[in-house]
Structure 1
Amino acid sequence: MSLNKVAISGNLGKDSELRVTQGGTAVLTFSVAVNERRRQQDGAYQDKANWIDCVMFGKRAEGIQPYLRRGSKLALTGHLNQNKYEHDGKTYSRIEVVVDEVELMNTRRETQQPEAAPAQPSEPAISDAGIPF
Structure 2
Amino acid sequence: MTFHTIIIVGNVGREPEMRYTPAGQPVTSFSVASNRSYTNQQGEKVDETIWFRVSAFGKLAETCNQFLHKGSRVLVEGRLVPDKNGSPRIWTRQDGTAGASYEVTATTVRFLSARGEGGAEAGGDLTIPDVGDMGEDIPF
TM-score under structure 1 normalisation? 0.69
Secondary structure of the residue aligned to 1:14 is coil
Residue 2 (str. 1) matches residue 2 (str. 2): yes
Distance 2:88 2:31 in 1: 17
- Residue in structure 2 matched with residue 29 of structure 1 by the alignment: 29
State the distance in 2 between where 1:76 and 1:19 align: 20
Residues 15 and 109 of structure 1, relative CA distance in 2, 3 Å threshold: closer
* 1:1-133 equivalent positions in 2, closer than 5 A: 1-40=1-40, 42-84=42-84, 94=89, 95-110=102-117, 111=120
1:51–1:2 CA distance, 2 compared to 1 (3 A): same
Identity %: 34
Structure number having the greater strand percentage: 1
Unpaired runs of 5+ residues, structure 2, are 90-101, 122-140
Q: Match for 2:113: what amino acid?
A: N
- AA in 2 matched with 1:46: V
Q: What RMSD over aligned residues (CA atoms) do the two structures have, in Å? A: 2.2
The structure that has the greater radius of gyration is 1
Please say if residues 84 and 93 of structure 1, whose CA atoms lie closer than 8 Å, have aligned partners that are also in contact. Answer: no
Q: For residues 20 and 51 of structure 1, what CA distance do their matches in structure 2 show?
A: 24
Q: CA deviation at 1:108?
A: 2.3
TM-score, normalisation: structure 2: 0.66
